[in-house]
A and B are shown apart, each in its own frame.
Chain A
């Protein structure tokens, strides 16, 4: 509980086991509390190492609303730096990405190297003899860590390690995504499409792993598939063998393993892949890299569909970053990825598949965004402030690895996210 305008926020009254109060989607005091507890002290996804492959490369990112620079220095080491001159606070990096030999603050000319070190201060004698510019390097979040190139930062000196945060079942999903490359590496370097909406950042997190909405929100996409193939996809209906999973610590997953590994479909897809020369080469390289069993498992599972709490979605071909702007405004950056060491045809087909659903002119994502805007409008009704997340509660199961799971359309994943959100918001912290 915290003090806010003299009022305490009672999270027990806002988040129940099977329902969430609408206030959590637009109250400024709750948003401010999230910025501190989740987007500052917690682990926040900053970017993927492959976005900045060369010395001097940089991109911009955010810890919540705090601007960052993600840069690589001449020695090849990456850095997460606050985009703020240590003199009088001006941002020092204006471009979203590029290559540079350092960052000059154009306000008074202070110059920082790409590792954040303060290199030059104009007319430094004006600061007196004792001036120690080594104390005025660009500030950095104290903890930065990565898993398979996904770089996270935390502004807290203490807390669980990144590997504790991204627990085993979540890492296993990231592995499915990266192991689609026979070299085990994804490349986040083919641009982004970006969207924005009037609504809270958690609406996107809830939706990314929602297996209930596709048959309704995405009717137009499935109609298109039906017109093209003569078959209506049934993987998101109430009897589908796709599973929905709470991986713990707020991470969640639509799990296609059972569905995708089942024969006869699985066998037919592996055969189909090898009908083209590039598909045959890819299959062979995967078997050489991982052995037949793992290679076929990875190819058939086909990546992942998951949230890494709080701001990363790894889904299909893409890596998606969620950026809270204010309680009622969110930006989402969606980046399709390439696989290292695969035929060009496969990577191009990944880009086309991504665009078909997720680009601003694609067949799906903006129908989701429309729903976020509609939820945001409906939240204004105070007669019944509750959003119901009860679906499948009675049939939720716990798997051997400790993850909770249910049928595709169940709200296991959202309950998992909210359970974790509440535990963070209620934790004892120093202020």
Chain B
């Protein structure tokens, strides 16, 4: 029987691999139907109804986002980014109830596209709900280190 930490780690590593391999649709399937996905801009926390975000949306929004990327006509990802990310510093907060875990993890992505190598890093917050032997992402918030900087191209999955 694996521990909660092992299950969470396995899940986050799988998510990282799907993002790294531009497996757009498979990645989106990790999210729950009532999910919320948020990448803040300028600041780490605020009311997203009153301040702009790099991305803020529900399952439907996420679906449109990944289908657009998967179709192959999003030229900012033609060619696609090659990347690998390290996920670490995982902290698991006591489950508020048996069904939902609050998890924090740092990430660092090394990305190459059109001969330019870049590094992007940040910290993600998750709310994970148990489903069978794995999880679904109910909430994911990605705080980029560069959240207030001019970005050349961050159109790959975060």
Chain B residues contacting A220 (CB-CB under 8 Å) are 68-69, 71, 73-75
Within residues 366 to 381 of chain A, which ones have a CB less than 8 A from any CB in chain B?
366-367, 369-371, 373
Best-buried of A223, A333, A366 by chain B (most CB within 10 Å): A366
Residues from chain A with Cβ under 8 Å of B154 in the complex: 360-361
- The answer to the question of B112 belonging to the interface, with a C-beta cut-off of 8 Å to chain A, is no
A224 to B69, CA, bound (A): 10
Question: Which of A171-179, A191-199, A204-212, A241-249 contacts its partner?
Answer: A191-199
Q: Is B67 an interface residue (CB 8 A)?
A: yes
Please report the C-alpha to C-alpha distance between residue A351 and residue B76 in the assembled complex, in whole angstroms: 23
Report the minimum CB–CB distance from B41 to chain A (whole Å). Answer: 5
Check A195–B76 contact: CB distance below 8 A: no
Q: Closest Cβ of chain B: how far from A315's Cβ, in Å?
A: 14
Taking a contact as CB atoms under 8 Å apart, the answer to whether B68 and A221 are in contact is yes
Task: Decide yes or no whether B130 CB sits under 8 A from chain A.
Answer: no
Contact (Cβ within 8 A) A367 B64: no
Contacts of B153 in A (CB 8 A): 366, 369-370
Closest partner residue, chain B, to A345 (CB atom): B49
Q: Is B158 an interface residue (CB 8 A)?
A: yes
B75 and A371 within 8 A (CB): yes
Judging by beta carbons under 8 Å apart, are B55 and A331 in contact? Answer: no
Size of interface on B: residues with Cβ below 8 Å to A: 35
A360-399: CB near B (< 8 Å → 1, else 0) gives 1111001101110100000000000000000000000000
Interface residues of A in 341-369 (CB under 8 A from B): 344, 347-348, 351-352, 354-355, 359-363, 366-367, 369
A68 sits at the interface (CB 8 A): no
The residue in chain B whose Cβ has the minimal distance to the Cβ of A352 is: B56
* Chain B neighbourhood of A193, CB < 8 A: 41, 52, 54
Flag whether A164 is at the interface (Cβ < 8 A): no
Tell me whether A217 is interfacial, beta carbon within 8 Å.
Answer: yes
Q: Is A332 part of the binding interface, using a Cβ–Cβ cutoff of 8 Å? A: yes
B4 lies within 8 A of chain A by Cβ: no
Kindly state whether residue B91 has any CB partner on chain A within 8 Å: no
Contact with A along B54-71 (1 / 0, CB 8 A): 111000000011011101
**Residues in chain B near residue A359, CB distance under 8 A:** 41, 52-55
Asked if A355 and B52 make an inter-chain contact with CB atoms under 8 angstroms apart, the answer reads yes
Binds A, one of B82-90, B92-100, B143-151: B143-151
Contact B73 A223 (CB under 8 A): yes
Report whether A224 and B150 are in contact in the complex, using a CB–CB cutoff of 8 Å: no
A50 within 8 A of B: no
A355 touches B49 (CB 8 A): no
Question: Would you give the shortest CB distance from B75 to chain A, in whole angstroms?
Answer: 5
Of A198, A223, A338, A366, the contact of B76 (CB 8 Å cutoff): A366
Smallest CB–CB gap between B115 and chain A, Å? Answer: 11
Q: Which residues of B contact A223 (CB under 8 A)?
A: 68, 71, 73
Q: Which chain A residues numbered 209 to 257 have a C-beta less than 8 Å away from chain B? A: 217, 219-221, 223-224, 227-228
Pick the contact of A228: B48, B56, B64 (CB < 8 A): B64
For residue A96, CB closer than 8 A to chain B, the reply is yes
Q: Give 13 new A-B contacts, CB below 8 A, not counting A360-B154, A361-B65.
A: A96-B148, A190-B52, A194-B150, A195-B150, A220-B71, A220-B74, A223-B68, A344-B49, A347-B50, A351-B49, A351-B52, A363-B74, A367-B76
